[in-house]
A and B are shown apart, each in its own frame.
Chain A
Amino acid sequence: MTNPAIADPHAGLSPAQLAERYGLRMAGVRPSLAEYTRKLWAYRHFIGAYANARLVASFSTARLGQLWQVLTPLTNAAVYYLIFGVVMGSSRGVPNFIAYLCAGLFIFNFTQTAVLNGTQSIISNLGLIRALHFPRACLPISVTLTQFQHLVASMVVLAAIVLITGEPLTLQWLLVVPALLLQSVFNIGLALAMARLGSKISDLRQLMPFVTRTWMYASGVLYSVELFSDHLPPFWAQVAHFNPLLVYIELVRDAMIDSAPLSSPPAQLWLLGTTWALLMGIGGYIYFWLGEKEYGRG
Chain B
Amino acid sequence: MAEQTGTIAAYSALPNGSAPERIPTVIADDVHIVYRVHGKGGAGANTPVASLRRILTRRRSPAIREVHAVKGVSFVAYRGEAIGLIGTNGSGKSTLLRAVAGLLPVTRGAIYTDGQPSLLGVNAALLNDLSGERNVALGCLAMGMTPQQVRRITPEIIEFSGINERGDFASLPMRTYSSGMAARLRFSIAAAKQHDVLLIDEALATGDVRFRRRSEQRIRDLRAAAGTVFLVSHAIGTIRDTCERTIWLESGVIRADGPTADVIKEYEQFANRK
Residues of A in contact with B (beta carbons under 8 Å apart):
1, 3, 5-10, 14-16, 18-19, 22-29, 42-43, 45-46, 49-50, 53-54, 56-58, 60-61, 125, 127-134, 138, 202, 293-294, 296-298
Contacts and interface: CB of A to CB of B under 8 A. Distances in A.
12 contacts: A1-B74, A10-B76, A14-B29, A18-B27, A27-B112, A58-B129, A60-B130, A127-B123, A127-B125, A132-B118, A133-B116, A138-B142
A3 B124 CA distance: 40
B138 A53 contact: yes
A14 B27 CA distance: 10
Q: Which 6 residue pairs of A and B lie closest in terms of their CB atoms, listed nearest first?
A: A127-B125, A131-B124, A19-B112, A15-B29, A57-B129, A24-B112
Given A56-B130, A131-B119, A15 B27 contact: yes
Interface of B: 8-9, 12-13, 18, 20, 22-29, 35-38, 74, 76, 98-106, 110-114, 116-121, 123-127, 129-130, 134, 137-139, 141-144, 146-147, 173, 190
Contact of A49 (B101, B114, B137): B137
Contacts of A133: 101-103, 116, 118, 143-144
Contact of B23 (A22, A49, A132): A22
Nearest to A128: B125
B114 A22 contact: yes
A297 B127 contact: no
A52 to B, nearest CB: 9
A53 B130 contact: yes
Contacts of B37: 298
Given A3-B12, A6-B13, A134 B113 contact: no
B136 to A, nearest CB: 11
Contacts of A54: 127
Contact of A297 (B20, B35, B118): B35
Contacts of A294: 105
A54 B114 CA distance: 33
A60 B129 contact: yes
Nearest to B75: A1
A7 B146 CA distance: 45
Nearest to A5: B9
Contacts of A15: 27-29, 74, 76, 110, 112
B25 A24 contact: yes
Contact of A28 (B8, B106, B125, B173): B106
Given A8-B12, A25-B112, A131 B173 contact: no
A106 to B, nearest CB: 25
A26 B127 contact: no
Given A1-B8, A3-B12, A46 B138 contact: yes
B112 A49 contact: no
Nearest to B117: A27
A49 to B, nearest CB: 5
Given A130-B98, A297-B105, A27 B113 contact: yes
B12 A6 contact: yes
Contacts of A128: 124-126, 142
Contacts of A26: 110-113
B200 to A, nearest CB: 11
A57 B144 contact: no
A3 B173 contact: no
Given A18-B24, A24-B27, A49-B137, A130 B103 contact: yes
Contacts of B27: 15, 18-19, 24
A15 B105 CA distance: 18
Given A128-B124, A128-B126, A298-B36, A28 B105 contact: yes
